[in-house]
């Protein structure tokens, strides 16, 4: 009998080096690719942009001493065993360490696939108690891992616990599932989520390349959008995947056509074993300027970098404002490189 491992090796036409990293090596995230996502990869193209996101390589063994396994200092900002409070008005809850797919650019390698499993009832109650005691917290991110690897029953119990103490709490469902395994998104799942109607839910997707927006993926997101749950996309800028303006334009256009808001485009985090996927910042700024020329406001994500040591997200952008040339007279450079002036009102 052919094993699942052998099927995947054959389907993706893995090289000898890639086979070597199929199983976990010390310090590496194990390979994990759902059948749907694997079917989107061209097995004859070693540079396929989806393949580069999910198939491990020896590049991950090269350690840059300036990177860490916790670049965002989440452990420092942990307020309970699974709850992170880094921004004043929102928290992140690590619902599980399990993902449907293992992305090679994962910034939470210290936690993902560490056999900790879904949050326990006590861990959920502890986090809910903290949120109840901190009314300044308006939003919670259900993240991980991937929250939608939980069963409908598990997810319902989790939502129930948080909404029991904070019915006003906005919940973000952070998931790669529509891209990786869209069959998980069922009408039953969405109906269960919509049964909690005291505050909004938001679906936070991650599509990094237009090829991930398969017919099944778009239909999965539509199940949420059709029921009034807005979908916002957070892409990661990745070398050899989407670091050219044509790909970024097509990604934004397809997202908008699929009723998904291009919300963020993130510079890669300074996480260990991912240096080969990060894009130099100078190139990133050039891409941002070119993308701004070619897409509308609906399709323009906020380019941002999540600064290390808990510095938080800051926007990256070409500086179009040159400065105040004289009192009330502001000089700008247009996206086409032309000079323009803006005048403050005179009273």
Q: Which residues pair with 173 in a beta bridge?
A: 142, 203
Q: Find residue 204's DSSP bridge partners.
A: 174, 232
pLDDT of residue 27: 57
Query: Residue 347 and residue 229: Cα distance in Å, rounded?
Result: 46
| pLDDT for the residue numbered 63 | 81
Residue of 70, 82, 99, 202 marked active site: 99
Q: Which two tokens stand for residue 220?
A: 């999965």
Judge whether 87 counts as a catalytic residue.
yes
Return the ∠ at Cα 15 (arms to 9 and 16), rounded to 5°.
100
- Total count of domains within the chain: 2
Sort residue 102 into left (φ over 0), alpha (ψ -120 to 50) or beta: beta
Q: Are 104 and 153 in contact (CB under 8 A)?
A: no
User: In this structure, are 286 and 324 located in the same domain?
Assistant: no
Q: pTM here?
A: 0.93
Q: What is the CATH number of the domain that holds 193?
A: 3.20.20.70
Q: Are 305 and 324 members of one domain?
A: no
Regarding whether 297 and 197 lie in a shared domain, the answer is yes
Query: Is residue 303 one of the residues assigned to a domain?
Result: yes
- Our answer to whether residue 338 is catalytic in this structure is no
166 is catalytic: no
Q: Which regions of the chain are under pLDDT 50?
A: 1
The alpha carbon of residue 256 and the mean position of all alpha carbons in its chain are separated, in whole angstroms, by 17
Q: Is residue 79 part of a domain?
A: yes
Pair (154, 209) in one structural domain: yes
CA dihedral sign, ordered 78, 79, 81, 82: negative
Tell me the backbone φ, ψ of residue 315, rounded to 5 degrees: -75, 145
On whether both 322 and 290 belong to a single domain, the answer is no
* pLDDT tens readout for residues 206-244: 999 999 999 999 999 999 999 999 999 999 999 999 999
Spatial separation of the C-alpha atoms in residues 286 and 280, rounded to whole Å: 10
Residues spanned by the domain of 192: 59-315
| 174 among known catalytic residues | no
Cβ–Cβ contacts within 10 Å for residue 147, how many?
26
Catalytic one of 48, 51, 52, 103: 103
Output the pLDDT for position 23.
62
Judge whether 313 counts as a catalytic residue.
yes
Our answer to whether residue 86 is catalytic in this structure is yes
């Amino acid at each position: 009998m052919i094993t699942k491992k052998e099927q995947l090796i054959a389907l993706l036409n893995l090289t000898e080096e890639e086979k070597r990293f199929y199983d976990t090596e010390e310090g590496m995230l194990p390979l994990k690719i759902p059948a749907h996502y694997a079917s989107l990869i061209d097995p004859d193209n070693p540079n396929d942009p989806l393949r580069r996101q999910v198939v491990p390589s020896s590049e991950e063994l090269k350690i840059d001493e300036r990177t860490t396994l916790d670049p965002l200092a989440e452990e420092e900002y942990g307020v309970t065993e699974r709850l992170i409070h880094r921004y004043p008005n929102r928290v992140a809850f690590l619902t599980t360490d399990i993902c449907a797919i293992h992305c090679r650019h994962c910034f939470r390698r210290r936690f993902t696939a560490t056999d900790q499993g879904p949050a326990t009832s006590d861990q959920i109650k502890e986090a809910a108690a903290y949120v109840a005691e901190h009314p300044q917290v308006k939003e919670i991110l259900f993240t991980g891992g991937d929250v939608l690897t939980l069963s409908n029953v598990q997810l319902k119990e989790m939502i129930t616990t948080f909404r029991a103490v904070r019915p006003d709490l906005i919940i973000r469902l952070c998931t790669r599932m529509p891209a990786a395994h869209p069959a998980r998104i069922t009408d039953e799942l969405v109906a269960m989520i919509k049964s909690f109607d005291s505050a909004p839910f938001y679906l936070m997707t991650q599509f990094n390349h237009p090829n991930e927006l398969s017919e099944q993926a778009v239909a999965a997101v539509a199940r949420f959008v059709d029921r009034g749950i807005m979908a916002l996309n957070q892409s990661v800028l990745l070398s050899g995947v989407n670091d050219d303006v044509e790909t970024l334009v097509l990604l934004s256009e397809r997202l908008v056509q699929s009723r998904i808001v291009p919300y963020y485009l993130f510079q890669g985090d300074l996480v260990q074993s991912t240096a080969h996927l990060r894009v130099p910042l100078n190139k990133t700024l050039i891409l941002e300027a070119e993308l701004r020329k070619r897409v509308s406001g609906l399709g323009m994500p906020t380019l941002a970098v999540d600064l290390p040591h808990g510095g938080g997200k800051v926007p990256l952008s070409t500086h179009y404002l040159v400065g105040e040339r004289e009192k009330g007279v502001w000089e700008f450079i247009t996206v086409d490189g032309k000079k323009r002036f803006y005048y403050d009102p005179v009273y």
